[in-house]
Structure 1
Amino acid sequence: MQYFVVMIDYGRRGREAVVDPEMTRRDVVARIASGEYSNVSFIHEIVDRSVADVTADIMSEAALPEIDGRDADLQAVRLDHLRDLRKHEQV
């Protein structure tokens, strides 16, 4: 059995441990990146009977979204830049 415990700190209102056995690592990262989980105190990954603090790893994953550049049209970006330069030359 594997699951994550996300401890959220609400300040004076207290803390809440979010534990959902159906939630995957990807789900935790997505919820942090979207802002659904903020003020995270720690994230523990429970696997069988061992506990690992994965806070730093998951927070860094959530801060750096993966960007798939395979479909990017880099030539169009270059041509847009040249068009902007021509506008400034005409002024």
Structure 2
Amino acid sequence: MMYGNGHDMSGWGWFGMSLSTLVFWGLLITALVLLFRAFRRHEHIPPAAPPAPTTPPEQVLAERFARGEIDEDEYQRRLTALRAYEPDTPDLTKH
């Protein structure tokens, strides 16, 4: 007889085996739940909303001028500065 306990496991052996079995099943169940959630999350992602239309800078400037926030000299100066950076924009002063 080896170790004096015959063919039976000691109390620590049963404890270790039981604990390792619980840990194994806990990890397996946790992995399955996380995989399930990951696949479900991808199904419910709504399509990205189109970006909100932005107001062209010249239009914003024209609106400020129309509301009286800036005078004509400042409007013309800022409009010239905007066009220096954006040469392909339409001329809003011809309306």
Q: Which has the higher strand share?
A: 1
Q: TM-score, normalised by structure 2?
A: 0.22
Bigger Cα Rg: 2
Q: Which has the higher helix share?
A: 2
> Whose RCO is larger (CA < 8 A, sep 6+)?
1
Q: TM-score, normalised by structure 1?
A: 0.22
